[in-house]
Structure 1
Amino acid sequence: MTPPLDLLTELEPTVARLLDRHLAAAPVWFPHAYIPWSHATDFDGPLDGTPWRAEQSGLPQAVADALTINLLTEDNLPSYHFEIATQFGRDGAWGAWVHRWTAEEDRHAQALRGYLHARRCVDPIALEHQRMRHVSTGYTSNHASLLHGLAYVTVQELATREAHRNTGLACTDPVARQLTTRIAADENLHMIFYRDLYTTAMELDPDGAVCALADAICAFDMPGTTIPGFRQRALRIAASGIYNLDVHHRHVLRPLLRALGVLTRPSLGSAGEQARDRIGRHLDELQRRAERSSRLFERWREAAPAAPPAGPGSSVRHDEIRYGEIRYDEIRCDEIRHDEKGGR
């Protein structure tokens, strides 16, 4: 009888190789350099500054929502570190990657919070209350296996990259665009690491890898769904086109599946074939839902072009688009390029 495959051990040489590649490619950057300090003023409190007022924010509501969701998601880093360190371990190449990833992700929260405060984009007191609630809730992945954990982060890093990138594209502030581009470039490198690691996992256990990927895709949720007010903010973000079912389908899942060769992979067993069929059905359903949502958003814009839907008290039924079940299914897997000096 063939002994069960120890994927954690079998994948470690690949982790070591990909970590070396990552360290050679990842640029050094500093959060403080992306914050417009010259525009900042003191807030009320011990420094007796000016209280925050809504009219001080020059951002569209959907962009402010996206930046807030992105920041609060990054704030929960202690829970994410615990989850992956528990599953991957803290020794050897796996541990080195876990710690490096955590250090890089921590810069994102530092930079985003500094930007939001300096530009007075959001209520700082409300933001801190939301951070405390979200981090106090924590995050639990409940991944069934190492393959399930790897499948999830492979999709999630690509979705996160696109969320940051599209937030910047929707913002008229060149400082915010430069910052979100820099963060998206980090997330892209993380995605490439996990994507190529998962490619190796598929060679070692094709059926198991396709089954785990099907589970991750069909039940996917971003880690920030427990953020206070997530549902209403997410609906405004979706209506604006920053991140919605269409983005998830066309710019996350489709490219990722193509890069992994899932839909064309030969010689799968019956379990792998069934999982692949499940992925195909999910993509078809996701596309139909994306088209319905697009038509709904268009009607909303025609009815109230200056005021996207989903504010408190809106008569729109959130479950019409089932946003809580968004699956981030297809993002371009080509390496992101950005035009800042020293970028990749």
Structure 2
Amino acid sequence: MQQLLDPADVAEAVDGFMAATSAARAWDVETAFDWTAADAGRLTEGQRSAVQFVTIIEDHLPGYFDVYHRSFPVDDTVDPAEFEHNRELYHFTVRWAAEEDTHARALARYQRASGMANRDLLRGELAAEGRKRFDLPYEHPVQFFAYALVQEKATQIYYQHLREVSGDPVLGAVLTRLARDEARHFTFMADMVGRYLRAQGDAAVEPIRDVIAAFRMPLADTMRGYWRWALKIADVASYDHTGAYEHLIKVIDRAVDAKSDRLTELTGFIGECGALAR
């Protein structure tokens, strides 16, 4: 892949992420929550539907991880310099994947513990969507981070909104943990996008613009009934992924002291996309 950051830049971003993930903030599915108190009877039908939806999204982690593994390979298909970059990024990717997999397990555990789902039936339902291929058709590396920046922030915001309306304190506690993790993931992606903008300037503008112009949340093009379901959960807890666009604009504004005309046009374009979607 062309136009990669210097490996030292990636290492610095990864080190910052790891330093922000203290042992005291670590949690596990088995002990972090009182599963015996989980009660889906406290949820509205819409809230239960939202839990089912986000469980499917989170459970597709193998597909998301595979995208990064294919796009930033750590094997002999790349030259040593590219390998160095990808190996530094891999330190983040495996930590991120472990945390996202924990999210999937926590949501599935909630469904079982609260009486929403039978374990065997849930496993089959998740497999029906999970086996579908996920892909991001990007060529410039900054696009993977710009996409994830919006996706992680949008997910964080939705978990916070769903927590506020949740009738079950156990679900609220789960969503609090998930939102905090997504906030840290967003911070890493924002750091990477900022580094690309500082290193490459206008060369990163068109790739980021292309991400926003064709943005779809994960599984939007593969999950059966996605758009109908997404509208339903939006009614439950104020969901709109374009709410994350303002955070991308802030990242761009902070990345450079004096924006070029192309960067100014990019932030205007992102703002317009957000406004049109509302």
Return the offset for 1:177: 0.8
- Tell me which residue corresponds to 2:253: 261
- Tell me which residue corresponds to 1:65: 49
Change (3 A) 1:24 1:265: closer
State the distance in 1 between where 2:132 and 2:116 align: 25
**Residues 130 and 227 in structure 1, CA contact (< 8 A), matched pair in contact too:** no
Supply the RMSD in Å over aligned alpha carbons: 2.6
| Partner-residue secondary structure (3-state), 2:26 | coil
1:103-114 to 2 correspondences below 5 Å: 103-114=98-109
Change (3 A) 1:143 1:107: same
Among 150, 153, 156, which residue is 2:148 paired with? Answer: 153
State the distance in 2 between where 1:125 and 1:57 align: 21
Among 70, 73, 76, which residue is 1:89 paired with? Answer: 73
**Residues 34 and 111 in structure 1, CA contact (< 8 A), matched pair in contact too:** no
TM-score after normalising by structure 1: 0.69
- Tell me which residue corresponds to 1:101: 96
**Residues 37 and 170 in structure 2, CA contact (< 8 A), matched pair in contact too:** no
State the distance in 1 between where 2:191 and 2:32 align: 30
Change (3 A) 1:116 1:34: farther
Larger radius of gyration: 1
State the distance in 1 between where 2:226 and 2:48 align: 13
Aligned partner letter, 1:166? H
| Partner-residue secondary structure (3-state), 1:266 | coil
- Tell me which residue corresponds to 1:240: 236
- Tell me which residue corresponds to 1:279: 270
Change (3 A) 1:23 1:275: closer
State the distance in 2 between where 1:238 and 1:86 align: 32
- Tell me which residue corresponds to 2:115: 120
Cα displacement string for residues 156-214 of structure 1 (whole angstroms, at most 9, x for unaligned residues)? 11111112222212202111111111011111101000101110100112223222222
Could you list the runs of 5+ residues in structure 2 that have no partner in the other structure? 75-85
Could you list the runs of 5+ residues in structure 1 that have no partner in the other structure? 41-54, 291-344
Q: Once structures 1 and 2 are overlaid, which stretch shifts more, 145-154 or 125-134? A: 125-134
| Partner-residue secondary structure (3-state), 2:12 | helix
**Residues 64 and 134 in structure 2, CA contact (< 8 A), matched pair in contact too:** yes
State the distance in 1 between where 2:259 and 2:178 align: 39
Does residue 186 of the first structure (1) align with residue 181 of the second (2)? yes
Aligned partner letter, 1:68? Q
Return the offset for 1:56: 6.5
Among 5, 19, 24, which residue is 2:19 paired with? Answer: 24
Return the offset for 1:218: 2.3
TM-score after normalising by structure 2: 0.84
State the distance in 2 between where 1:239 and 1:140 align: 28
Among 70, 73, 78, which residue is 2:62 paired with? Answer: 78
1:207-226 to 2 correspondences below 5 Å: 207-225=202-220, 226=222
| Partner-residue secondary structure (3-state), 2:30 | helix
Relative to its length, the structure with more helix (as a share) is 2
- Tell me which residue corresponds to 2:139: 144
Does residue 196 of the first structure (1) align with residue 191 of the second (2)? yes
Return the offset for 1:232: 2.5
Change (3 A) 1:280 1:169: closer
Aligned partner letter, 1:236? K
State the distance in 2 between where 1:177 and 1:188 align: 16
State the distance in 2 between where 1:125 and 1:169 align: 30
Aligned partner letter, 2:51? L
Return the offset for 1:28: 1.4
1:164-183 to 2 correspondences below 5 Å: 164-183=159-178
Change (3 A) 1:69 1:146: same
Cα displacement string for residues 274-332 of structure 1 (whole angstroms, at most 9, x for unaligned residues)? 5444334323322xxx2xxxxxxxxxxxxxxxxxxxxxxxxxxxxxxxxxxxxxxxxxx
**Residues 207 and 268 in structure 1, CA contact (< 8 A), matched pair in contact too:** yes
Change (3 A) 1:77 1:161: same
